[in-house]
């Protein structure tokens, strides 16, 4: 499943150097002594609540095949169901315990093979645990039998289970589709079942639907005939599925167009779109038909089903879901309009398609044994989606983007006291949604990338193939994967990887050097846990240790690893021969190892010129800056020193490096919105981004590609938001022409232009933008507008935007990004958004039913506060308004607020002085 991370939005800020770079003084960076005295350890403020008791389903009866007939009513939003399951009774029992939620069972009976039917005498629902116990008057004997259940349920509006999704026909009529989302634990809302990933069975599905609707399921249609009781309906029967887990079952009933192709290995691929938009499915179809053979070749295992459908669903909580053979997507994660889609949307679709199709093998063919191993599915798919996109679109330079989008994001979250290990014990269903987060996805992907680098591609692929063949159609645990990779590579995979998946956090690698014997360099390398709140007191003995694969390169060849060591102790010494005294040494080339680095002052100073003269690779320029920013936040160096380093990026040509700089400056700008010198950091941003903005200009030039389009949108958005006068004037001019229909804005310029005019706009601007939203035929354009509406500055207009977020105009899943956009735009917006969330908590919590969207909403709304008392307020609110699926998120947010407050108190004056001194005329 792809969670729709509010794609590190390309909306940030900008600046110009005071002198030409040629005569700028050399960069120096002073390290602070460790701050250990009086440091607040935030974890003590927020203890995890007691875990709810939970017992997995008994194993005395298990399913072999589900015969399932469903008849949804698209007018009354109910459905009738008949289940006839072939089951095995492994020991005599007079009850069957299954999962069941929001379903009413009408009748149930059991027919032993060759025996008489036994009617159930009672149904005992345990609503808290989402279970039902079917009670029988006599013992069901060991052996095969058939369980028959008639039931009814509701097509809910919660985007989970079997639910309804609203859409508009081309003629403007409102209609509903019936669709499914079962991961993690919601198949039980569609039919009584054994809803645990390890309890696999085959499925025979029949849908009774209106004859003018398309109906889809995991497998191909084998029969379609009129329904005898109602001639307006048809009975559609699908082929038997392979043995699979319940969370991967899917069905969709609605009105769709499609485009179709065949992959080179003979699999029928279809992309289903809203009616009239079939052409918008072409790009995803092209990606999917390239991707299936790529994975077949990579895994050396063919795709096991005869067809695969990819379908755009109007109301959809996640980004996409990997149901076997019928992958469901948000419209914005699947549909691309050649004229109206921007470069970032194309890239997004390519990544999400790559992610979900990887799951067809890794997750569907071989499934995790329990949700504790969710990361196996998601971490792996989040890594290999990049491998796939790199194969399909090498011009995207996607692996550099991985470092900014996934790797640094995971480091930020995992440095908190309220993070969690990759492998986390999960019991009650309410706990499962919580682990669909950046640890399972992004840290999971990052440690697999590190592992792949450590093993080498050939051995990695050999191990993957052995794993898939050994466990196909079965379930596996993390240890099973390590064993296969260990046998293929001959390396101590389990020992190395357990230190990364079973314990929380990651190390900071501290490095110092000494030149000896003329051309030898001795490195002293040590590790300790990196904490967002700074170094802790404590000896090496009681600190966690990691087995850290460390690569080392030199300025002689920055792209080639000169030495590799496995650091399995608190510290070690490494001798590197033939390094000239004037050559620099870089740890972690390619920024592959999952750790931060703290160089000695001398080592760091020797590396910094490599930023300006671009001798450091883009991914290493990015990693160096990101590490320094993180060290500044943790109080280990001064933020002013990092601002000085940022000024060295004035010649930077790389999109991803600018994107990461932009994110960090966005964090700093948000922090300084709590001061009275917020305008000074805007000037810094304007100065830094102006040269690259001038160089790029507004219009694309011949020969430019994907990354140029991304960079132009990023830079103009940053300059416009920071109030760069020329950018603002040009944005307003182009916006006016766009609205008047004289010159339609290219898709890549819409986000930065919309953001800029709103940030410096009034009620007329907002009215115009809401009108554009209403007129937009494409969900991508609606989302583009929704994400930037919060930039409007006036308090009464901010309130209008918040009210709009809950209106019928905004799809339920997109409300979160509208509110998040308000909170992320200004100090005023943050306060207003938090008040709005509190005032409308009941409606919002009910809307998302405790799924991961509620966690996203909380994080986007409160993470930017920087006042101690706000942490207490947030904590207090959620103590009286329980959100079980977001408990850890609340703790992480409170911790972040306290970290922000500490950072502000510690560095605000120094930053202010530095920004003032930059403006002072030279003496």
DSSP lists the bridge partners of residue 837 as: none
- Contact (Cβ atoms closer than 8 angstroms) between residue 792 and residue 831: no
Answer yes or no: are the C-beta atoms of 94 and 133 closer than 8 Å: no
Nearest to 663 by CA among 2, 5, 13: 13
Residues forming a β-bridge with 124: 133
Extended beta strands in 691-812, E state: none
Dihedral of alpha carbons 847, 853, 855, 860, sign: negative
Using alpha carbons, select from 179, 434, 209, 426 the residue that is nearest to residue 312: 179
Q: How far is CA 283 from the centre of its chain?
A: 22
**Topology of domain 56-254, CATH:** Immunoglobulin-like (2.60.40)
Task: State the Cα–Cα distance between residues 624 and 645, nearest whole angstrom.
Answer: 10
pLDDT at 9: 33
Contacts with 775 (C-beta within 8 Å, 6 or more apart), sequence order: none
- Residue 724 sits at φ, ψ, to 5 deg, of -65, 120
Domain ranges of the chain: 56-254, 369-502
CATH for the stretch 369-502 = 1.10.390.10
Does this model's pTM top 0.85? My answer is: yes
CA-to-CA dists, residue 596 to 413, 550, 572, 614, 658, angstroms: 13, 12, 17, 21, 20
Question: What does the pLDDT read at residue 559?
Answer: 86
- What pLDDT score was predicted for residue 779? 93
Q: What would the two tokens of residue 481 be? A: 């994967």
CA 764 to chain centre: 35
The answer on whether 378 is annotated among ligand-binding residues is yes
369-502 and 56-254 share a CATH fold: no
Report d(CA 141, CA 613) in Å as an integer. 78
887 is in an annotated binding site: no
Burial 101-134 (b: 16+ CB within 10 A, else e): bbbebeebebebeeeeebebeebeeeeebbbbbb
CB count within 10 Å of CB 543 equals 13
∠ at Cα 856 (861, 860), nearest 5°?
A: 25
Question: What pLDDT does residue 97 have?
Answer: 97
Instruction: Please say whether the beta carbons of 112 and 147 come within 8 A.
Output: no
The catalytic site residues sit at 356
Residue 859: which of 483, 347, 409, 308 has the closest Cα? Answer: 409
Helix pair 444-455, 374-392: axis angle to 10 deg: 70
Closest by Cα among 281, 253, 391, 374 to 322: 374
Q: What are the structure tokens assigned to 725, written together? A: 């006068």
Query: What is the pLDDT at residue 39?
Result: 36
CA 503 – CA 507 distance, rounded (Å): 11
CA dist 273 and 269 (Å) reads 13
The two three-digit tokens of residue 403, written as one number: 């470092």
Q: What pLDDT is attached to residue 51?
A: 61
Residue 850, pLDDT score: 62
Work out the burial of residue 873: count CB atoms within 10 Å of its CB; fewer than 13 is exposed, 13-18 middle, 19 or more buried. middle
For residue 157, is it left (φ>0), alpha (ψ between -120 and 50) or beta? Answer: alpha
For each successive 10 residues of the chain (923 residues), what is the average pLDDT?
A: 44 29 42 38 46 84 98 96 97 96 95 93 90 95 96 94 93 94 94 97 98 97 95 97 97 97 94 96 97 95 96 90 96 93 95 96 93 87 95 95 94 94 81 79 94 95 96 94 96 94 95 88 94 76 83 90 92 91 92 96 92 93 96 96 94 95 96 95 96 95 94 97 97 97 96 97 97 95 96 96 96 94 95 97 86 89 95 96 89 96 96 91 67
Is the peptide bond prior to 543 cis by the omega test (within 30 degrees of 0)? no
Q: What is the pLDDT of residue 849?
A: 76
User: Quick one: pLDDT at residue 760?
Assistant: 97
User: Which of 428, 289, 429, 418 has its CA nearest to residue 353?
Assistant: 289
User: What are the backbone angles phi and psi of residue 414, rounded to the nearest 5°?
Assistant: -80, -10
Residue 391 counted as an annotated binding residue: no
């Amino acid at each position: 499943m792809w969670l729709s991370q509010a794609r590190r939005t390309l909306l940030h800020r900008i600046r110009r150097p005071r002198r030409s770079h040629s005569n700028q003084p050399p960069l120096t960076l002073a390290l602070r002594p460790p701050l250990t005295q009086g440091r607040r350890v935030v974890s003590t403020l927020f203890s995890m609540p007691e875990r709810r008791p939970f017992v997995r389903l008994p194993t005395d009866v298990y399913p072999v095949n589900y015969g399932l007939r469903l008849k949804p009513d698209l007018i009354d939003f109910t459905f009738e169901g008949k289940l006839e399951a072939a089951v095995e009774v492994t020991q005599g029992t007079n009850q069957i315990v299954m999962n069941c939620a929001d379903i009413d069972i009408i009748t149930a009976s059991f027919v032993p093979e060759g025996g008489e039917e036994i009617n159930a005498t009672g149904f005992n629902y345990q609503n808290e645990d989402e279970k039902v116990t079917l009670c029988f008057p006599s013992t069901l004997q060991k052996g095969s039998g058939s369980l028959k259940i008639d039931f009814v349920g509701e097509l809910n509006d919660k985007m989970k289970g079997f639910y309804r999704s609203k859409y508009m026909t081309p003629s403007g009529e409102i209609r509903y589709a019936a669709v499914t989302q079962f991961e993690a634990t919601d198949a039980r809302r569609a039919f009584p079942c054994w809803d645990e990933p390890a309890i696999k069975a085959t499925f025979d599905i029949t849908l009774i639907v209106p004859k003018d609707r398309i109906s889809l399921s995991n497998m191909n249609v084998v029969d379609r005939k009129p329904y005898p009781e109602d001639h307006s309906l048809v009975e559609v029967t699908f082929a038997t599925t392979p043995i699979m887990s319940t969370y991967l079952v899917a069905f969709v009933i609605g009105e769709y167009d499609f485009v179709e192709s065949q992959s080179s290995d003979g699999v029928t691929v279809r992309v289903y779109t809203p009616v009239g938009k079939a052409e918008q499915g072409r790009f995803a179809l092209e990606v999917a038909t390239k991707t299936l053979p790529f994975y077949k070749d990579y895994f050396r295992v063919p795709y096991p089903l005869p067809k695969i459908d990819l379908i755009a669903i109007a109301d959809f909580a996640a980004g996409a879901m990997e149901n076997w053979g019928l992958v469901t997507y948000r419209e914005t994660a699947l549909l691309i309009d050649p004229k109206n889609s921007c470069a970032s949307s194309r890239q997004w679709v390519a990544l999400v398609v790559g992610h979900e199709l990887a799951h067809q093998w890794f997750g569907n063919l071989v499934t995790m044994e329990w949700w504790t191993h969710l990361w196996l599915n998601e971490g792996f798919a989040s890594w290999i989606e990049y491998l796939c996109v790199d194969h399909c679109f090498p011009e995207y330079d996607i692996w550099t983007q991985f470092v900014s989008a996934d790797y640094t994001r995971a480091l930020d979250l995992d440095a908190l006291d309220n993070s969690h290990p990759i492998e986390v014990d999960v019991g009650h269903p309410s706990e499962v949604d919580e682990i669909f987060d950046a640890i399972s996805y992004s840290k999971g992907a990052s440690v697999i990338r590190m592992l792949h680098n450590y093993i080498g591609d050939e051995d990695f692929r050999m191990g993957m193939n052995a794993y898939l063949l050994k466990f196909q159609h079965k379930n596996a645990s993390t240890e099973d994967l390590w064993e296969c990779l260990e046998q293929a590579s001959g390396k101590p995979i389990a020992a190395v990887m357990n230190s990364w998946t079973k314990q929380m956090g990651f190390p900071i690698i501290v490095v110092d050097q000494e030149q000896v014997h003329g051309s030898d360099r001795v490195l002293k390398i040590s590790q300790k846990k990196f904490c967002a709140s700074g170094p802790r007191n404590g000896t090496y003995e009681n600190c966690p240790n990691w087995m850290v694969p460390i690569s080392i390169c030199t300025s002689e060849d920055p792209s080639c690893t000169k030495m590799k060591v496995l650091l399995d102790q608190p510290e070690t010494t490494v001798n590197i021969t033939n390094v000239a005294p004037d050559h620099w040494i870089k740890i972690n080339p390619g920024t592959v190892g999952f750790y931060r680095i703290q160089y000695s002052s001398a080592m760091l100073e020797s590396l910094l010129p490599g930023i300006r003269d671009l001798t450091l690779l883009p991914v290493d320029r990015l990693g160096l800056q990101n590490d320094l920013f993180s060290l500044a936040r943790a109080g280990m160096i001064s933020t002013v020193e990092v601002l000085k380093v940022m000024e060295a990026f004035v010649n930077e040509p790389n999109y991803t490096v600018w994107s990461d700089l932009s994110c960090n400056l966005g964090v700093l700008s948000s922090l300084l919105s709590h001061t009275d010198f917020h305008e000074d950091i805007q000037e810094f941003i304007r100065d830094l981004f102006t040269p690259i903005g001038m160089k790029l200009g507004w219009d694309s030039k011949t020969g430019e590609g994907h990354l140029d389009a991304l960079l132009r949108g990023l830079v103009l958005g940053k300059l416009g938001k920071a109030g760069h006068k020329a950018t603002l004037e040009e944005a307003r001019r182009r916006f006016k022409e766009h609205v008047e229909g004289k010159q339609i804005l290219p898709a890549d310029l819409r986000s930065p232009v919309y953001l800029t005019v709103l940030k410096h706009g009034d009620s007329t601007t907002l009215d115009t933008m809401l009108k554009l939203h209403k007129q937009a035929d494409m969900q991508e354009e609606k989302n583009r507008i929704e994400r930037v509406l919060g930039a409007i500055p006036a308090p009464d207009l901010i309130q209008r935007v918040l009210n709009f977020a809950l209106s019928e105009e905004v799809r339920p899943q997109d409300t979160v990004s509208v509110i998040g956009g308000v909170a992320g735009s200004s100090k005023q917006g943050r306060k207003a958004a938090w008040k709005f969330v509190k005032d409308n908590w009941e409606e919002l919590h009910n809307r998302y039913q405790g799924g991961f969207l509620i966690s996203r909403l909380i994080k986007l709304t409160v993470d930017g506060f920087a006042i101690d008392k706000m942490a207490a307020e947030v904590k207090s609110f959620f103590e009286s308004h329980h959100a079980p699926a977001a408990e850890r998120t609340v703790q992480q947010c409170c911790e972040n607020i306290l970290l922000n407050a500490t950072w502000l108190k510690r560095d605000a004056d120094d930053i202010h002085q530095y920004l003032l001194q930059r403006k002072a005329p030279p003496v």
